[in-house]
A and B are shown apart, each in its own frame.
Chain A
Amino acid sequence: EEHERYFNVEQVRLLDRFSSKSTSGTLYLTATHLIFVESSPSSPSSAVLHHHIASVEKLSLTTTGCPLVIQCRNFRVVHFVLQRERDCHDIYSSLLRLLRPVAYEELYAFSYNPKQNDQQREEGWQLIDLGAEYERMGVPCDQWQLTDVNRDFKVCETYPRDLYVPITANKPIIVGSSKFRSKGRFPVLTYFYQEKKAAVCRCSQPLSGFSARCLEDESMLQAISKANHNSRFVYVMDTRPKLNALANRAAGKGYENEDNYSNIRFQFVGIENIHVMRASLQKLLEVIGNRSLSMSDYLMGIEGCGWLRHVKAVVDAAIFLTKAVTVEGASVLVHCSDGWDRTAQVCSLGALLMDPYYRTIKGFMVLIEKDWISFGHKFADRCDQLDGDPKEVSPVFTQFLECVWQLTEQFPQAFEFSEWFLLQIHEHVHSCQYGNFLGNNQRQREELQLREKTHSLWAFLMEEQQNYQNPFYSSVYGKTHPVLEPSTLPYHFKFWRNMYHQFDRSMHPRQSILKTIHTLKETSLKSAQTLRALENLNKEVHLNTSAWPKGKESSYYVDCFQCCVGHTKE
Chain B
Amino acid sequence: MEFAELIKTPRVDGVVLHRPFMPTVEGTLCLTGHHLILSSRQDNTEELWLLHSNIDSIEKRFLGSLGTIIVKCKDLRMIQLDIPGMEECLNIGSSIEALSTLDSVSLMYPYFYRPMFEVIEDGWNSFLPEDAFKDLEAMTDEWRLSEVNRDFRVCTTYPPLVAVPRDVDDDTLRKAAGFRHGGRFPVLSYYHKKNGMVMMRSGQPLTGTNGRRCKEDERLINATLRPGKRGYVIDTRTISVAQQAKARGGGFETEANYPQWRRIHKAIERSNVLQDSLVKLVEACNDQSHSMDRWLSKLEASNWQTHVKEILTTACLAAQCIDREGASVLVHGTEGTDSTLQVTSLAQIILDPACRTIQGFQGLVEREWLQAGHPFAQRCSMSAYSNSKPRHEAPGFLLFLDCVWQVLRQFPCSFQFTEQLLVLLFEHAYASQFGTFLGNSAAERVRLSLPEKTVSLWSWVNRPQEIDHLSNPLYEPNSLVIWPSVAPQSLLLWEGVFLRWNRSPRCQEEAHEEMVHIIEYNKELQNKVNSLRRQLAQLETQEPPLQTP
CA distance A494 to B411 in the complex (A): 20
Q: Which of B288, B483, B529, B537 has the most CB of A within 10 A?
A: B529
Q: Number of A residues contacting the other chain (C-beta, 8 Å)?
A: 69
Given contacts A295-B306, A413-B507, A557-B536, contact A493 B292 (CB under 8 A): yes
Residues A337-395 near B (CB distance < 8 A):
none
Chain B residues within an 8 Å CB radius of A112? none
Determine whether the beta carbon of A471 is less than 8 Å from that of B535.
no
B285 touches A488 (CB 8 A): no
CB-based contact B507/A412 at 8 Å: yes
The smallest C-beta distance from A396 to any residue of chain B, in angstroms, reads 19
Q: Give the chain A neighbours of B502 by CB distance below 8 A.
A: 489, 491
Please provide the chain B residues from 485 to 499 with a CB less than 8 Å away from any CB of chain A in the complex: 485, 487-493, 495, 499
User: Residue-by-residue, is B476-512 near A (CB-CB < 8 Å gives 1, otherwise 0)?
Assistant: 0000001111011111110100010011000110110
Contact across chains for A511 and B412 when beta carbons are under 8 A apart: yes
Number of A-B contacts (CB under 8 A): 177
B236 at interface (Cβ–Cβ under 8 A)? no
CA distance A472 to B517 in the complex (A): 10
Residue of B nearest to A293 (CB): B488
CA distance A516 to B536 in the complex (A): 31
Within 8 Å by CB of B528, from A495, A497, A517, A531, lies A531
Contact with B along A297-326 (1 / 0, CB 8 A): 111101100101100100010000000000
Contact A527 B526, beta carbon cutoff 8 Å: yes
> Which residue of A is nearest B305, CB measured?
A295
Given contacts A528-B525, A568-B526, contact A509 B411 (CB under 8 A): yes
Which residues of B302-327 are within 8 A (CB) of A? 303, 305-306, 308-309
Q: Across the interface, which residues of B come within 8 angstroms of A560, CB to CB? A: 529, 533
Of A288, A308, A474, A516, the residue contacting B296 (CB under 8 A) is: A308
For A517, give its contact among B411, B487, B518, B537 (CB under 8 Å): B518
Query: Do the beta carbons of B511 and A412 come within 8 Å of each other?
Result: yes
B490 partner residues in chain A, CB cutoff 8 A: 497, 507-509
Contact B290 A531 (CB under 8 A): no
B532 and A490 contact, CB distance less than 8 A: no
How many angstroms from the CA of A354 to the CA of B172 in the assembled complex? 75
Question: Least Cβ distance of A501 to chain B in Å?
Answer: 6
Q: Which of B290, B293, B294, B485 contacts A488 (CB 8 A)?
A: B290
> What residue of chain A has the Cβ atom nearest to residue B482's Cβ?
A510
Check B296 against A413 for contact (C-beta < 8 Å).
Answer: no
Q: Given A411-B507, A527-B525, are A507 and B485 neighbors across the interface (CB < 8 Å)?
A: yes
Are B474 and A516 touching (Cβ within 8 A)? yes
CB pair A472 B515 closer than 8 Å: yes
Does chain B have a CB within 8 A of A42?
Answer: no
Bound CA–CA A454/B540 (angstroms) = 56
* A299 partner, pick from B299, B487, B508, B519, beta carbons under 8 A: B299
| Cβ contact within 8 Å between B290 and A489 | yes
- Residues on B with C-beta less than 8 A from A309 are 292-293
The listed residue (A297, A490, A564) touching B529 by CB distance below 8 A is A564
B414 touches A521 (CB 8 A): no
Task: Please give the distance in Å from A193's CB to the nearest CB on chain B.
Answer: 24
Q: Check if B87 is an interface residue, CB within 8 A of chain A.
A: no
Q: Does A538 contact B (CB under 8 A)?
A: yes
The answer to whether A490 touches B487, judged by C-beta atoms less than 8 angstroms apart, is no
Q: With an 8 A cutoff between CB atoms, is B548 at the interface?
A: yes
C-alpha gap A303/B284 in the complex (Å): 15
* Chain B positions within 8 Å of A507 at CB level: 485, 487, 489-490
Known contacts A299-B305, A564-B529, A537 near B536 by CB under 8 Å:
yes
A495 x B522 contact (CB < 8 A) = no
B306: which of A294, A537, A550 is its contact (CB, 8 Å)? Answer: A294
Chain B residues near A294 (CB-CB < 8 A) = 306, 309, 488
A378 → chain B closest CB, angstroms? 28
Are A511's CB and B413's CB within 8 A? Answer: yes
User: Which B residues are within 8 Å of any A CB, using their own CB?
Assistant: 285, 288, 290-297, 299-300, 303, 305-306, 308-309, 409-414, 474, 482-485, 487-493, 495, 499, 502-503, 507-508, 510-511, 514-515, 518-519, 521-522, 525-526, 528-530, 532-533, 535-537, 539-540, 544-545, 547-548
Interface residues of A (CB under 8 A from B): 18, 288, 293-300, 302-303, 306, 308-309, 312, 316, 410-413, 471-472, 474, 487-495, 497, 501, 506-513, 516-517, 520-521, 523-524, 527-528, 530-531, 534-535, 537-538, 541, 545-546, 548, 550, 553-554, 557, 560-561, 564, 568
Chosen A-B contacts, 28 in total, with CB atoms closer than 8 Å, are A293-B487, A298-B489, A299-B305, A302-B296, A303-B293, A472-B511, A490-B296, A491-B499, A497-B490, A506-B487, A507-B490, A509-B411, A509-B412, A510-B482, A511-B410, A513-B412, A513-B413, A516-B474, A523-B522, A524-B521, A527-B528, A531-B528, A534-B529, A538-B535, A546-B548, A557-B536, A560-B533, A568-B526
20 further interface pairs, Cβ-Cβ under 8 Å (given A295-B309, A413-B511, A491-B295): A293-B487, A295-B488, A299-B300, A300-B297, A309-B292, A316-B290, A412-B510, A471-B515, A472-B511, A489-B290, A490-B291, A501-B489, A507-B485, A508-B490, A510-B410, A517-B518, A530-B529, A534-B533, A537-B536, A564-B533
